[in-house]
Amino acid sequence: MALGFWLRPAAIAEQERSFEANTSSKLVATPRGLAFHLPPTNVETIFIYSLALSMLCGNVNICRLPSQLSETTRILLKHFVEALVGGDVDGMCLFVTYDLQTNVTAELSKLSDLRIIWGGDAKVQSISTLPQKPRGVTVGFPDRYSYSVLNAATYGLLDEKARNALASAAYNDIFLFDQMGCSSTQVQYWVGKKEQVTPLARDFTARISIAAASKGYEMGMAGAATKLTQAMGQVLDGPVGLLDTTDMILIGVHHEQPRDLRDSRGGAGMVGIIHLNSVMELAELVQERDQTLATFGFDVETLHELAIKINGRGIDRMVPIGQALQFDRIWDGQDLLRSFSRLVTIS
């Protein structure tokens, strides 16, 4: 549904207007040529976004698919291919599958003017070392980490309806893709008086669980076991003030002090709860791999000041809670329409 909304004609027209507004008569955008796409396995539909942007830039595309496709991906590809055929642009895109033990990836890399690699650090680094055309460009999307920050005082003033609406939005950031997306929220930072944070965070956790249940979220045994194991591991590493397992759909681990949780991801509904006295304290906690900061209760001026204080050490996106997984042409700090195009200057 989100992909369909993003690809609707009005949205594509707006992308075109925005792109052309930044391209003067002395700067012409042309295709790079052959684009080679290597999608991820954890977020199975996201490659369509970068594939669509590459096509809109005029590139010819080869997309390597896994040998085993989920039903969701099969349905998506069926509609996508039908649209390409209906628009008489099916010659711009070729979907392939092959044994990764062969040298096909290396051979296609040699032919490519553009490589788009989705996956973990190891995958991006490995494929990036393969020879490419001398003027070829590689755009990699490696491991990323994301979290949210909430203003406790502002949340405390919300009525029941507003709290439930915010919880429903937070459900999207946490539970879509079983919390395994690069922009999925892993930690909630709460800014305010420490004695207020625990009850407010527990209230929010309970409401997110209710939202998940109402949306039909089904928690598998494997996911439940994994996140509970990770939560217990965080308790042992301590210090943890509270392990909120009131509702196993969403586990909240309340930490006594800020700590690095990037290598402890349970998935399927587990968040760290960390108190901060000021949102500016986040600047000292940000690392290079951090991508999306979902926010609630802070004005644009404050977030602008935070971005300046972070000074490029991490965080490529600041979005309202509920929009963490909404794709945009500017992703991981890059304007993809620009990256997927070759710019010709005229003077």
**Assigned token pair, 253:** 């681990």
Average pLDDT, the chain: 92
Residue 322, by phi and psi: left (phi above 0), alpha (psi -120 to 50) or beta? left
Q: Say whether pLDDT at 25 is over 80.
A: no
- pLDDT tens-digit map of 174-189: 998 888 889 999 999 9
> Are the C-beta atoms of residues 250 and 174 closer than 8 Å to each other?
yes
Superfamily of domain 145-320: Aldehyde Dehydrogenase; Chain A, domain 2 (3.40.309.10)
> Are the C-beta atoms of residues 75 and 82 closer than 8 Å to each other?
no
Q: Please, where in the chain does CATH 3.40.309.10 lie?
A: 145-320
What residue type is assigned to position 288 of the chain? E
Averaged pLDDT, 66-86: 88
What share of the chain has pLDDT > 90, as a percent? 68
Q: Which residues does residue 37 pair with via DSSP β-bridges, in sequence order?
A: 63, 116
Q: Which residues does residue 34 pair with via DSSP β-bridges, in sequence order?
A: 60
Residue 142, by phi and psi: left (phi above 0), alpha (psi -120 to 50) or beta? beta
HEC profile of the chain = CHHHHHCCHHHHHHHHHHHHHCCCCCEEEEECCEEEEECCCCCCCCHHHHHHHHHHCCCEEEEECCCCCCHHHHHHHHHHHHHHHHCCCHHHEEEECCCCCCCHHHHHHHHCCEEEEECCHHHHHHHHCCCCCCCCEEEEECCCEEEEEEEHHHHHCCCHHHHHHHHHHHHHHHHHHHHCCCCCEEEEEEECCHHHHHHHHHHHHHHHHHHHHHCCCCCCHHHHHHHHHHHHHHHHHCCEEEEECCCCCCEEEEECCCCCCCCCCCCCCEEEEEEECCHHHHHHCCCCCEEEEEEECCCHHHHHHHHHHHCCCCCCEEEECCCCCCCCCEECCEEHHHHCEEEEECC
The predicted pLDDT at position 259 comes to 92
Distance between alpha carbon 115 and the CA centroid of its chain, in Å? 19
Distance between start and end Cα atoms, the chain: 44
Task: Answer with the residue of higher pLDDT: 161 or 48.
Answer: 161
The predicted pLDDT at position 26 comes to 83
Q: Say whether pLDDT at 146 is over 80.
A: yes
Averaged pLDDT, 226-243: 90
Q: Of 209, 197, 196, 274, nearest to 240 (Cα)?
A: 274
- Exposure b/e, 86-98, CB count within 10 A at least 16 = b: eeeeeebbeeeee
Q: Of 163, 152, 154, 155, nearest to 192 (Cα)?
A: 152
Strand bridging mode 185-191 / 145-151 = parallel
The predicted pLDDT at position 196 comes to 94
What residue type is assigned to position 105 of the chain? T
User: CA 40, 43, 45 angle in degrees (round to 5)?
Assistant: 90
The predicted pLDDT at position 56 comes to 94
Q: Say whether pLDDT at 44 is over 90.
A: no
Calpha distance 216→28 (Å, rounded):
48
Indicate the fold that domain 2-143+338-345 takes in CATH. Aldehyde Dehydrogenase; Chain A, domain 1 (3.40.605)
Calpha distance 189→272 (Å, rounded):
8
Q: Say whether pLDDT at 347 is over 90.
A: no
> Are the C-beta atoms of residues 72 and 150 closer than 8 Å to each other?
no
The predicted pLDDT at position 103 comes to 94
Q: Please, where in the chain does CATH 3.40.605.10 lie?
A: 2-143+338-345
- pLDDT tens-digit map of 90-127: 899 999 999 988 999 999 999 999 999 998 889 999 99
The predicted pLDDT at position 271 comes to 95
Q: Could you tell me the pLDDT band of residue 144, with boundaries at 50, 70 and 90?
A: very high
The predicted pLDDT at position 43 comes to 67
